[in-house]
């Protein structure tokens, strides 16, 4: 925070205060830096600071919004400035935005989710979705049977944060969950907007079944069909074909299917086609529940 976030944010705030007509000496007093530092801030472009803040998952628009909030607070008093800075930083801790930068410095924190749990509870939707997917991933990684139901395209778990309506509000695993020897292993910790494919599938389903918050994909074959039937799961069958560059054939086939009349369904069976591996997408009210169901299916599948 002190070495990377604060200097970049000071730079943006100094520019904002200067644009409001404050003198360099006044800005220096408000920010607790020297006038020479303010002069340096004002003589250099903001690109480096925006790049530095992107390490904390802040887009340019979000960084601008935070700097405007902080500039308003600092202009009132130093105490207001400190309170605003603390509020911004705690939000970043709570939604997991600082995790990647922290883990880059300390790889031993690979499995740490303390800040999300400690500071994200009161902010929930996004933080809760991240925590849910993290728990789901741990369950899958601990199972020796789960690898038996992993498709060649690997696995992902997606979970909607609150009343999610965009891919940026769907939490998933960047790079997916892959097979490493005889266990499943997530490539990276879960984060919002990590899987466009799973986001499209989940958002399409939520149009007709808003109570569904999570989904997970597994392999699909004759044995899987038998397991799904034995569990009494109702499926919606689609058949996708890879025929356009950049298109998502599963999402396109699902959208076409949902336009037609259909009964209730607990899972989507993509029977695949040219260039598309058959997969089943399990639907659930949460990521943990989706993982538990996937493990039950994996046990039954492995026993057949």
Arch. (CATH architecture) of 124-303: 3-Layer(aba) Sandwich (3.40)
User: What are the start and end residues of each CATH 3.40.225.10 domain in the chain?
Assistant: 124-303
Report the distance separating Cα 219 and Cα 17, nearest Å: 56
- Per-residue burial over 82-106, b = 16 or more CB atoms within 10 Å of its CB, e = otherwise: eebbeebbbebbbbbbbbebebeee
Residue range 275-300, pLDDT digits in tens: 889 999 999 999 999 999 999 999 99
Neighbours of 39 (CB within 10 A): 14
Residue range 26-35, pLDDT digits in tens: 999 999 999 9
Neighbours of 257 (CB within 10 A): 17
Per-residue pLDDT of the chain (304 residues; tens, 9 = 90+): 998 999 999 999 999 999 999 999 999 999 999 999 999 999 998 999 999 999 898 889 999 999 999 999 999 888 788 888 988 998 888 888 898 889 888 888 888 888 887 776 545 678 889 989 999 999 999 999 999 999 999 999 999 998 898 898 999 999 999 999 899 999 999 999 999 999 999 999 999 999 999 999 999 999 999 999 999 999 999 998 766 666 789 999 999 999 998 889 999 999 988 888 999 999 999 999 999 999 999 999 999 7
- Among residues 129, 113, 5, 135, which one has the least CA distance to residue 57? 5
CA distances from 239 to 26, 111, 138, 290, 293 (A): 66, 38, 31, 23, 24
- Among residues 186, 286, 199, which one has the least CA distance to residue 250? 199
Contacts of 83 (CB under 8 A, 6+ apart): 73
């Amino acid at each position: 925070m002190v070495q990377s976030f604060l200097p970049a944010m000071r730079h943006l705030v100094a520019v904002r205060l200067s644009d409001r007509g404050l003198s360099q000496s006044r800005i220096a007093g408000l920010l607790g830096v020297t006038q020479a530092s303010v002069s340096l801030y004002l003589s250099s472009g903001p690109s480096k600071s925006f790049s530095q803040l992107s390490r904390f998952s802040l887009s340019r628009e979000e960084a601008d919004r935070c700097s405007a909030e902080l500039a308003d607070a600092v202009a009132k008093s130093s105490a207001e400035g400190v309170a605003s800075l603390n509020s911004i930083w705690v939000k970043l801790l709570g939604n997991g935005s600082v995790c990647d930068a922290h883990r880059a410095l300390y790889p031993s924190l690979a499995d740490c989710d303390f800040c999300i749990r400690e500071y994200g509870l009161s902010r929930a939707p996004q933080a809760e979705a991240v925590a849910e997917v993290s728990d789901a991933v741990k369950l899958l990684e601990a199972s020796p049977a789960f690898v038996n139901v992993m498709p060649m395209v690997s696995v992902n778990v997606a979970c909607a944060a609150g009343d999610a309506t965009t891919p940026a509000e769907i939490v998933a695993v960047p790079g997916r969950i892959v097979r490493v020897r005889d266990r499943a292993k997530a490539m990276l910790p879960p984060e919002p907007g990590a899987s466009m494919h799973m986001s499209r599938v989940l958002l399409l389903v939520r149009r007709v079944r808003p109570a569904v918050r999570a989904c997970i994909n597994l392999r699909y074959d004759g044995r899987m069909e038998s397991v799904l039937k034995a569990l009494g799961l109702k499926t919606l069958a689609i058949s996708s074909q890879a025929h356009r560059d950049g298109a998502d054939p599963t999402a396109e086939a699902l959208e076409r299917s949902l336009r037609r009349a259909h009964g209730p369904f607990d899972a989507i069976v993509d029977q695949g086609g040219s260039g598309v591996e058959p997969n089943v997408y399990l639907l659930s009210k949460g990521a943990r529940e989706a993982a538990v169901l996937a493990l039950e299916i994996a046990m039954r599948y492995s026993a057949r």
